[in-house]
């Protein structure tokens, strides 16, 4: 029996809060995962998990042990990756996360094409607008936007996205177009997940808080409201590019448009990037570079 036995299983269950989800992640049966963790607890003579019919929770000892296990697993995987040939095909499990709309439109198709070319790789793509903790939640890779603040992560710029202020011809015929930033406050703002709209004025970035009677945390819903003439919206280019090109929406105050935001691939900060992560980032960079800006 190896002293490593049960550590991967325990870490997976702790991160997934589920034996069945951990078993799926590891490619094992649920009974095998449960058996290995029971043996690990017996060897340690310590209870690591509280098990109920509905959920799995860490004990105090389990929380301390989990942090140490993550470091051990990272060091082990880095050591193995460091001696493997550079041309090794991606394999194993790759866990990724991205926001829903951008993920559905751009990331998922690219990931699916990558999976088709790499049959030894298993992929879990989590589309979620919450900002996930990559280290704490066990993700290998995330696609994020704008300014990055987590110093535990390494980042590579994949592409850019542009924020566009726009409205429908019907709305502009009724209310007129804002001539400068000071007039935005008098218009009906279609408020999405961003509490503030960003602009540039006199060489500096400006943040304005829109007002209006309509709010939704879905970019697609904001777009539909704008098309129906309910107000002004500021959305990333991939939402509105087609509508602007067709004349269904008019782009406004282009001279005050903020700098383009970065689209970033971010991953935990190992000294050696696993081949599967490196290959996926290269693939995403190439795939997103083919997207024309609005």
Alpha helices in 83-168 (DSSP H): 100-102, 108-117, 134-137
CATH architecture of 92-161+261-289: 3-Layer(aba) Sandwich (3.40)
What CATH topology corresponds to 163-256? D-Maltodextrin-Binding Protein; domain 2 (3.40.190)
What lies within 8 Å, CB to CB, of 218 at 6+ separation is: 101, 192
Measured on CA atoms in the order 273, 274, 275, 277, is the torsion positive or negative? negative
Q: What is the pLDDT of residues 59-74, one digit of tens each?
A: 999 989 988 888 788 7
Cα-Cα-Cα-Cα torsion 40, 42, 48, 52, nearest 10 degrees, comes to 110
* Backbone torsions φ then ψ of 69, nearest 5 degrees: -65, -40
The pLDDT value recorded for residue 84 is 63
The pLDDT value recorded for residue 293 is 46
Measured on CA atoms in the order 251, 253, 259, 265, is the torsion positive or negative? negative
The pLDDT value recorded for residue 274 is 81
Percent of the chain residues past pLDDT 70, beyond the cut: 90
Domain with CATH 1.10.10.10 in the chain: 7-83
According to the CATH classification, is domain 7-83 in 3.40.50.1370? no
Check residue 57 and give left, alpha or beta (phi > 0: left; psi -120 to 50: alpha). beta
Q: Which two tokens stand for residue 153?
A: 């992560």
How confident is the model over 62-87, as a mean pLDDT? Answer: 75
Q: What is the pLDDT of residues 251-261, one digit of tens each?
A: 999 999 999 98
In the structure, what pLDDT confidence band is assigned to residue 46 with cuts at 50, 70 and 90? very high
What lies within 8 Å, CB to CB, of 280 at 6+ separation is: 90, 94, 96, 111, 114, 141, 265
Q: Which range is most confident: 11-15, 168-172, 193-197, 237-241?
A: 168-172
Q: What is the pLDDT of residues 8-24, one digit of tens each?
A: 999 989 888 889 888 88
The pLDDT value recorded for residue 17 is 86
Rounded Cα distance between 98 and 121, Å, is 19
Q: What is the pLDDT of residues 94-139, one digit of tens each?
A: 899 999 889 999 999 999 999 999 988 889 999 988 888 887 778 8
The pLDDT value recorded for residue 150 is 66
Average pLDDT, the chain: 88
Of the two residues 266 and 92, the one the predictor is more confident about is: 266
Domain with CATH 3.40.190.10 in the chain: 92-161+261-289
């Amino acid at each position: 029996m190896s002293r490593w036995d049960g550590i991967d299983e325990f870490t997976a269950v702790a991160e997934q809060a589920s034996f069945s989800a951990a078993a799926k992640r590891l490619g094992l049966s649920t009974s095998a995962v449960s058996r290995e963790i029971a043996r690990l607890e017996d060897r340690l003579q310590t209870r690591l998990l509280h098990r109920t019919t509905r959920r799995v929770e860490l004990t105090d000892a389990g929380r301390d042990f989990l942090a140490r296990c993550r470091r051990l697993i990272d060091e082990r995987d880095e050591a193995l990756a460091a001696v493997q040939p550079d041309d090794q095909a991606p394999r194993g499990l790759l866990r990724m996360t991205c926001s829903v709309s951008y993920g559905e439109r751009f990331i998922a198709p690219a990931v699916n094409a990558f999976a088709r070319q790499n049959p030894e790789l298993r992929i879990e793509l989590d589309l979620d607008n919450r900002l996930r903790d990559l280290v704490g939640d066990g993700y290998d890779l995330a696609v994020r936007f704008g300014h990055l603040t987590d110093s535990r992560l390494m980042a590579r710029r994949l592409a850019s996205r542009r924020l566009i202020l726009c409205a429908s011809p019907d709305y502009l015929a009724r209310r007129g177009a804002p001539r400068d930033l000071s007039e935005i406050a008098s218009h009906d703002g279609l408020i999405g997940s961003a509490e503030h709209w960003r602009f540039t004025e006199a060489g500096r970035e400006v943040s304005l808080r829109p007002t209006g009677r309509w709010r939704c945390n879905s970019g697609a819903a904001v777009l539909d409201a704008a098309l129906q003439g309910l107000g002004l919206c500021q959305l990333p280019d991939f939402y509105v590019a087609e509508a602007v090109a067709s004349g269904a929406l008019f782009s406004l105050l282009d001279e005050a448009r903020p700098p383009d935001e970065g689209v970033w691939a971010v991953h935990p900060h190992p000294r050696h990037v696993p081949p599967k992560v490196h290959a996926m980032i290269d693939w995403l960079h190439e795939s997103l570079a083919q997207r024309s800006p609005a």
